[in-house]
A and B are shown apart, each in its own frame.
Chain A
């Protein structure tokens, strides 16, 4: 489905959901457990109400181990619980790869974002986008990796319109310097469940998210890619046990992958312990890992 890097929030109206193209499937994706391997230690330090710093040490069983440093600056303007402007985010790892993002609000309805990504000393991604949030519609334009000298780049345009209180329809257009591609997004939403469908030349992506009760959430995802001639299906669930300070996520895949991640907070210390294991029956591979997050 093109580059999929643009931003297309669900609805302009105050439904409360954050916007982003990936946000369409985000509810379902957050149910799935993240792949864990090796040992990870994360220490987060809040230096002031505006500035926060994170150190991550990852000792990996599969690839190289490394250290990563992350700094986040939050500005004064707060629009929602997770939206603060301007936001400056920087992430650097021990190999010298950099990830930087700047989010800024221009005017009441216009948001802009710039993202830079470098692997060691080479820039691999640089993109800029702007998003306009109307009362019941959202329009976004993203320019990815524009290269004036080589004359290449990617342009993504999104438009989402709230048709009814529950139904959101939209479209996405991705233009390469090569022949352009088009796609369509269809999203249905209800208080307890969400279904999202993306259909385009690049394939189809459908997801269904259901909140069974306060503790259990379930997600199902189907992806089909005609170009690679393959499709995959995943089922995940999340179990919240706030009284036990634990969250468990489980996953079952069409490639016969089974995985689970358990995250437990350990009061009174501000420490979270995460244990995860993934077993791929088809390839007979097993990964396990655990991590500690401090604050």
Chain B
């Protein structure tokens, strides 16, 4: 039943179950130092990689936590609270599974336009080449956010990923996303988000098919009850010829100066996360997922260690499926190079993956 919904959330970055980032999508973990708060080195101020790229990444990346819970009861609502810059960062704590060799070249062509090429040589699956282009418009919301944002990504087999994000008015933001596998459209969705003074409401229409009469409708609501506590709900209604259903989940988030805890409870299961900023350099996160449908639960622990003076970023994770992994990223000044080394070992299945990648620009 939740299959249509999980399709919609497939394009999201591996660690965020169904994230539809209406803010400018943050960087993939490959470019940690180019995240929005820090001014980028080239002309563009937007983060380089956006969510659409993630599905083309090799399959193991999505399998971070043992059983992949269908993305129905998701912490999506937490991201839409009036102030939630830290939520993204919490999810970026976990290292991304790396295997094979990846070379990425980013080129900023102007203040508004940027292009990237990625060649991935994979030991497990297929090697591929991606071409991505990003356009940022002229309407500035803040020094780091500009609209509209058009992001496109195409790979060598013809699979396309496209997103358009636009701020329609001062409070309403909308997004359209398309995803194809080779020449077949697998995902098309449109959504709108309204940000009030102390609440956020969002409506998403996923894979609407008028001829067949199928589609998914997701409604979110998140209300700041106190400055630290936000409560909300998510309603997912899906319809296929012959069946329809709705799932409701409740979400809550508590933010303290140095930690954030979120809870999402629903008919499909529970999802709890805890993020703690231990110091300027160390961030720690714990995530618990339980699914009633799969009758399974998992816990993951991750941490991120930043050493800006050593140009180093280290992420480690430990899973309840006895999977241990780490990624080390190092910038190599004075060249605009970033070297990433990653290795994952799954003790239970006795499998080991390692890979490294180089990002230029």
Residues of A within 8 A of B (CB): 38-39, 59-61, 65, 275, 277, 279, 285-290
How far apart are the CA atoms of A204 and B355 in the complex, in Å? 38
Q: Which residue of A lies closest to B339 (CB)?
A: A275
| Interface residue total, chain B, C-beta cutoff 8 A | 14
A59 touches B352 (CB 8 A): yes
B122 touches A39 (CB 8 A): no
B354 touches A286 (CB 8 A): no
B121 touches A286 (CB 8 A): yes
B101 touches A277 (CB 8 A): yes
A287 touches B123 (CB 8 A): yes
A288 touches B354 (CB 8 A): yes
A286 touches B352 (CB 8 A): no
A290 touches B123 (CB 8 A): no
A39-B343, A286-B127 known; A61-B352 Cβ under 8 A: yes
Kindly identify which residue among B121, B341, B345, B353 contacts A277, using a CB–CB cutoff of 8 Å.
B121
Which DSSP category, helix, strand, loop or mixed, fits chain B's interface?
Answer: strand
B326-348 near A? 1/0 per residue, CB < 8 Å: 00000000000000010101000
Name, among A38, A275, A290, the residue most crowded by chain B CB atoms within 10 Å (CB to CB): A290
Which DSSP category, helix, strand, loop or mixed, fits chain A's interface?
Answer: strand
Q: How far is the CB of B137 from chain A (nearest CB, A)?
A: 39
Chain B residues contacting A275 (CB-CB under 8 Å) are: 356
Chain B residues contacting A60 (CB-CB under 8 Å) are: 352
A61-B123, A279-B121 known; A290-B352 Cβ under 8 A: no
Q: Which residue of A lies closest to B121 (CB)?
A: A286
A288 touches B355 (CB 8 A): yes
Q: How far is the CB of B353 from chain A (nearest CB, A)?
A: 6
> Which residues of B99-118 are within 8 A (CB) of A?
100-101
B235-264 near A? 1/0 per residue, CB < 8 Å: 000000000000000000000000000000
Name, among B100, B101, B121, B122, the residue most crowded by chain A CB atoms within 10 Å (CB to CB): B101
25 A-B contacts, Cβ less than 8 Å apart? A38-B352, A38-B354, A39-B343, A39-B354, A59-B352, A59-B354, A60-B352, A61-B353, A275-B356, A277-B101, A277-B121, A279-B121, A286-B100, A286-B121, A287-B123, A288-B100, A288-B101, A288-B121, A288-B123, A288-B354, A288-B355, A288-B356, A289-B354, A290-B341, A290-B354
B114-144 near A? 1/0 per residue, CB < 8 Å: 0000000111000100000000000000000
Q: How far is the CB of B314 from chain A (nearest CB, A)?
A: 14
Q: Which residue of B lies closest to A65 (CB)?
A: B352
How far apart are the CA atoms of A98 and B330 in the complex, in Å? 38
8 closest A-B pairs by beta carbon, nearest first, are A39-B354, A288-B101, A277-B101, A286-B123, A39-B343, A59-B352, A286-B121, A61-B352
Q: Which residue of A lies closest to B341 (CB)?
A: A290
How far apart are the CA atoms of A285 and B126 in the complex, in Å? 10
Chain A residues contacting B345 (CB-CB under 8 Å) are: 59
How far apart are the CA atoms of A61 and B354 in the complex, in Å? 7
How far apart are the CA atoms of A275 and B337 in the complex, in Å? 15
How far apart are the CA atoms of A61 and B352 in the complex, in Å? 5
Q: How far is the CB of A257 from chain B (nearest CB, A)?
A: 14
> Which residues of B30-73 are within 8 A (CB) of A?
none
Q: How far is the CB of A10 from chain B (nearest CB, A)?
A: 39
